[in-house]
Structure 1
Amino acid sequence: MESNAIYTTSDAGLNRFFGKIYGLVGMGVGLSAVISYLMLGPFSHLFVNILMNYSWVYTAAIFVELALVFLASGAARKNTPAALPLFLVYSALNGFTLSFIIVQYTQATVFQAFISTAIVFFTMSLIGISVKRDLSGMAKFLMAALIGIIVASLVNIFLASGTMSFVISIISVLIFSGLIAYDNQMIKKVYYAMNGQVSDGWAVSMALSLYLDFINLFLNILRLFASRD
């Protein structure tokens, strides 16, 4: 992780950089999916035991996840060897916490939501890669909107409004779809700004951002599909 990966500033070099990032995103999503499957399948007895007797484990895992995001992001910016392991540990732990959410839905709904998320994700990725307009202004608006959605979600914990939850999910899908496009455009900007001399840390940092976009998009689409059912 300490050495820089040097690419040529050609389309082939950019494609290799994208390939590395998306390979990491695939590893993260795949690891999360495997852990969730194990918790709800072969290790379902452990899952039920935690759910019934040790619910604090889930809460603790959420706080550890938050810490891991900051640690992985910081390690990636510094291009240290710990960046990739931290990203993978976070992905695995996220698979654990996701199992407590996924268990509330039918397998068909989860599958449909995942496929829909993948379609939206790759569509917005292509838009972000190909669009010529600078999306930085849009990203600032989306981040402000995301803060508003987080506040609204906290308020809705007490209100328990189904309508408000539905609206929050729709807006969240739009927000994370836009962020996917922006993050893909950022990959190109970083690559060309560094003349192809991009470090592995940058690849992990970009992969973490896209992974978070994918997971949050999936969760909100899942809620929308469930409300439809």
Structure 2
Amino acid sequence: MNNPVRTPGFGASRSVDTDAGLRAHMLGVFRNMGLGLVITGLVAFAIASTPPLAAAIFGTPLKWVAIFAPLAFIFFFSFRIDKMTTAGARMAFWAFSAVMGVSMASIFLVFTGGSIAQAFFSAAVMFLAMALWGYTTQRDLTKMGSFLIMGLIGILVASLINIFIGSSMMAMVVSILAVVIFTGLTAWDVQRIKSDYFAFAGHEVAEKMQVMGALSLYLNFVNLFQALLNLTGERE
């Protein structure tokens, strides 16, 4: 039997370190996220390593499909997740990861391999540090999350506008804000996933929530990585 859990609030003690169910849930979230990142990386590298395929995508109007397809998938998830089975949600996440790989293949054509590796390592360190803090802190991050979501909407709009105007100054400002926002969202999302586990543990929806939690953390990591690469990456 699991140890008792006290739930008066974030300031109260909660014996989560001995809760095997929570550990299994969080491992499921990070396992799904990790597999998604592997799929994205393999697809991106395969396309970048095949010049005719890369030229067919990024040298033609197909590049707009590659750019906006991941956003379309996010809207699809938002409207369809409640009707999906757990297996369907997982397959949709794998498909989304592959589509994101197509979109991200361009980084191998623009930046050096060394700078990509450096940005990935930096993003991994920042992500893991904030995820650990979000998991262990007793502070309620709800208000911080609301502020960060508003900032996320702002940088999304600015990024879409900058696709067409191509301002290097705006790109730098957006990247700096993205680093701050997505590091904060990582901690907030981990705490939210942890809280949702206690609210829905034992329900059928809990396993599907692992997939949705993985998607949230996946997006945080990918966007943090891209922002750091834009700021520090050395171009070919």
TM-score range relative to shorter protein = 0.7 to 0.9
Summarize the alignment of residues 1-150 of structure 1 with structure 2, pairs less than 5 Å apart. Answer: 11-41=19-49, 43-52=50-59, 55-80=60-85, 81-150=87-156
Write out per-residue CA displacement over residues 155-181 of structure 1, whole angstroms, 9 at most, x where no aligned residue.
444654333322221111000000000
Identity %: 38
Q: Distance in 1 between matches of 2:214 and 2:125?
A: 18
Shift in Å, 1:77 = 3.5
* Alignment-mate amino acid for residue 70 of structure 2: E
Which protein has greater RCO, CA pairs closer than 8 Å, 6+ apart? Answer: 1
- From 196, 214, 221, the equivalent of 1:214 is 221
- From 182, 203, 206, the equivalent of 1:199 is 206
Q: CA RMSD for the aligned pairs?
A: 2.4
Contact between 1:73 and 1:205, CA under 8 Å: does it hold in 2? no
Shift in Å, 1:60 = 1.9
Q: Distance in 2 between matches of 1:155 and 1:49?
A: 25
Aligned equivalent of 1:3: none
Higher mean displacement: 72-81 or 207-216: 72-81
> With structure 1 as the length reference, what TM-score do the two structures score?
0.86
Change in 2 beyond 3 A, CA 1:128/1:78: farther
Q: Distance in 2 between matches of 1:158 and 1:87?
A: 29
Shift in Å, 1:79 = 4.9
Shift in Å, 1:110 = 0.5
Say how many residue pairs are matched: 220
Contact between 1:179 and 1:213, CA under 8 Å: does it hold in 2? yes
Aligned equivalent of 1:177: 183
Shift in Å, 1:47 = 1.2
Write out per-residue CA displacement over residues 143-162 of structure 1, whole angstroms, 9 at most, x where no aligned residue.
11122223333444465433
Change in 2 beyond 3 A, CA 1:82/1:50: same
Shift in Å, 1:133 = 1.1
Change in 2 beyond 3 A, CA 1:64/1:166: closer
Q: Distance in 2 between matches of 1:65 and 1:32?
A: 12
Change in 2 beyond 3 A, CA 1:79/1:158: closer
SS of alignment partner, residue 233 of structure 2: helix
Higher mean displacement: 143-152 or 158-167: 158-167
* Alignment-mate amino acid for residue 225 of structure 1: T
Write out per-residue CA displacement over residues 17-67 of structure 1, whole angstroms, 9 at most, x where no aligned residue.
0000100000000000000111112x2321123333xx2222123343223
Unaligned ranges ≥5, structure 1: 1-6
Unaligned ranges ≥5, structure 2: 6-17
Contact between 1:75 and 1:201, CA under 8 Å: does it hold in 2? no
Q: Distance in 2 between matches of 1:216 and 1:170?
A: 11
